[in-house]
Amino acid sequence: MEYVYAALLLHKLEKEVNEANVSSVVKASGAEVNEAQVKALVAALADVNIDEAVKAAPVAVAAAAAPAEGGDAAAGGEAKKEEKPKEEGKTEEAAMEGLSSLFG
């Protein structure tokens, strides 16, 4: 995860997401750098628009649904809310499986 966080931090600071920069951020965090994982991440992100990926992330959907739960809702609306977290959980779980395959 530290490699993904490093890439997100670099992107947020408008720095180039490359092997040297990711390695530097990971080293600065105190973690050991696995060069193979750094290369895999940089290669995987080469054609990715990080802003769009963050906007499309399942976490954004869950965060948007949270304020709706606080309001008054009809009984039918409450049944739908119970179904959505199950579907989001599956989507989130599938996304995490895909991410873990990148890092072994």
Say which CATH architecture domain 1-48 belongs to.
Orthogonal Bundle (1.10)
Quick one: tokens of 8? 């997100």
| C-alpha to C-alpha distance for 29 and 1, rounded to whole angstroms | 12
Domain boundaries, the chain: 1-48, 57-104
pLDDT at 60: 47
Are 15 and 27 a contacting pair, CB within 8 Å? Answer: no
Residues with Cβ < 8 Å from 11, sequence gap 6 or more? Answer: 17, 50, 51
pLDDT at 104: 52
Task: Please compute the mean of the pLDDT values over residues 12-22 and round it to a whole number.
Answer: 93
The full length of the chain comes to: 104
3-state SS class at 31: coil
Digit-coded pLDDT (tens) for 32-88: 999 999 999 999 998 888 888 888 877 644 555 556 555 555 555 555 555 555 554
Distance in angstroms between the alpha carbons of the first and the last residue of the chain: 11
